[in-house]
Amino acid sequence: MVFTLETRDAKTMGRCGRLSGPHGTVPTPVFMPVGTQGTVKTLTSQELVDLGARIILSNAYHLYLRPGDQLVAEAGGLHRFASWPLSILTDSGGYQVFSLQGLSKVTDEGVRFQSHLDGSYHFFTPEKVVDIQRNLGSDICMVLDECAPYPCDYQNARTAHERSVKWALRSLEHFRGNRPVHSKEQALYAIVQGSIYHDLRTENLQTLVEKKFDGYAIGGLAVGEPADIMAEITELCTRQLPEELPRYLMGVGRPEDLVTAISLGVDMFDCVIPTRNGRNGTVYTSEGKMVLKNRRYESDFDPIDRNCSCPACRHYSRSYLRHLFQAGEILAMRLATLHNLYFYMDLVGRARQAIQRKKYDAFMRQFFTDYQTNNKSANE
């Protein structure tokens, strides 16, 4: 996918542009709904298109384990398998291997880990993870990286950073040395690591930028650090990343994190928050979060948000949604997921418009005036 930078905001580092590739064009900034197992939980492809999604995220680690990237290749790639006609970014699985597994073992060659499904042993190398993503046929592939936890001492952060750089370079070499399985061109993004240490982040980033990847992700954030550190490290990176290439802040985040990060020049986001929280009955409005299971909504016949025109708000009341959650009905999870993704899409879309008008600072100020936040930690 080719990135075109269109507009820079006047007073913030905010920017908008577009990513164009074999499965269409994606205006940025963009939020990518998460479809870990080849499906954005509870939704059909058509519903995602209707919500305005132009790119979704899926996960090489999960699809490798089940149903298997070979099977997806046999189906004609992930777009055909999942009946998703637009763009797909696949995460490499580095984050999963290091976070889901207690029993992963890293060497410079790669990482040995146990499947979270059946305990079977597997070995990922940077090359293998590229091959998996070739089989999946995603539009954007991510390199295998070692994601340091938070907090992480300097020495461990340095080790993870150095290994991540080596793996990124091996990934790029392997990626350039072979062709797509499904004929359509794929892009490869590097992932900047280095924990919260400025010198490590800078060293990591500069080495990767020299190699001219198709885009740059900021990894190792949204792993439990405070929101101000997330913003600090994000800005450290975006100030040094090339203007002409897309920047992707991985795993972020809460609505307020997106609004902040967009002001720092981030173009792409993904997070399970709107979908996961939706399934648990937490929905988002311009005034903050709302826990639908709360007794106060028992006989509240208003929609979640009077100003929202999502399918849930057009037809259903808080009272009915609360009943569905109390009764354990699947429709509750669907409707809350739809609403939350609609909220995220709308928020990022309005952020884009504000940048186009070069008034992102006013947009951001208004958002934080209306929206009840707490700043305890990111990704709550």
Residue 359 near its own copies by CB under 8 A? no
Q: What is the size of the binding site for its own copies (CB under 8 A)?
A: 38
Q: Given the complex with its own copies, which of 24 and 27 has the nearer CB atom? A: 24
Q: What angle do CA 367, 368, 374 make, to 5 degrees?
A: 130
Residue 75 near its own copies by CB under 8 A? yes
Report yes or no: 33 and 274 within 8 Å, Cβ to Cβ. yes
Active site residue 270: yes
Residue 320 near its own copies by CB under 8 A? yes
User: Within 13 Å of residue 304, how many CA atoms lie on the same side as its CB?
Assistant: 34
Question: What's the DSSP call for residue 239?
Answer: T
- Give the Cβ contact number of residue 115 at 10 Å: 15
Residue 46 near its own copies by CB under 8 A? yes
Identify the residue among 326, 353, 374, 375 touching its own copies (CB under 8 A).
326
Candidates 88-96, 200-208, 265-273, 314-322: pick the segment binding its own copies (CB under 8 A): 314-322
Residue 66 near its own copies by CB under 8 A? yes
Q: Which of 91, 131, 139, 214 is catalytic?
A: 91
Residue 115 near its own copies by CB under 8 A? no
Identify the residue among 208, 292, 324, 347 touching its own copies (CB under 8 A).
324
Identify the residue among 315, 365, 372, 374 touching its own copies (CB under 8 A).
315
Of 277, 163, 136, 284, residue with least CA distance to 220: 163
Handedness of CA 226, 231, 237, 241 (dihedral sign): positive
Q: Given the complex with its own copies, which of 232 and 300 has the nearer CB atom? A: 300
Distance of CA 107 to the CA centre of its chain: 27
Give helix 227-238 / helix 255-263 axis angle, nearest 10°: 30
C-alpha span between 299 and 136 (Å, rounded): 47
Report yes or no: 350 and 321 within 8 Å, Cβ to Cβ. no
Residue 71 near its own copies by CB under 8 A? yes
Reading the block at residue 339, the tokens are 């609403």
Residue 52 near its own copies by CB under 8 A? no
Amino acid, single-letter form, for residue 201: R
Q: Given the complex with its own copies, which of 268 and 324 has the nearer CB atom? A: 324
Residue 294 near its own copies by CB under 8 A? no
Identify the residue among 43, 237, 241, 290 touching its own copies (CB under 8 A).
43
CB of 70 to its own copies, least distance (A): 9
Handedness of CA 363, 364, 366, 371 (dihedral sign): positive
Identify the residue among 81, 95, 216, 284 touching its own copies (CB under 8 A).
81
Residue 82 near its own copies by CB under 8 A? yes
Residue 293 near its own copies by CB under 8 A? no
Active site residue 91: yes
Q: Given the complex with its own copies, which of 45 and 193 has the nearer CB atom? A: 45
Residue 330 near its own copies by CB under 8 A? yes
Reading the block at residue 273, the tokens are 């928050």
Phi/psi at 3 (5° precision): -95, 135
User: Within 13 Å of residue 48, how many CA atoms lie on the same side as its CB?
Assistant: 26
**Element of type H or E holding 284:** strand 282-285
Q: Which of 9, 145, 267, 270 is catalytic?
A: 270
The contact set with its own copies (CB under 8 A) reads 37-39, 41-46, 66-67, 71, 74-76, 81-83, 298-299, 301, 311, 315-317, 319-320, 322-324, 326-327, 329-331, 333-335
The catalytic residues are 91, 270
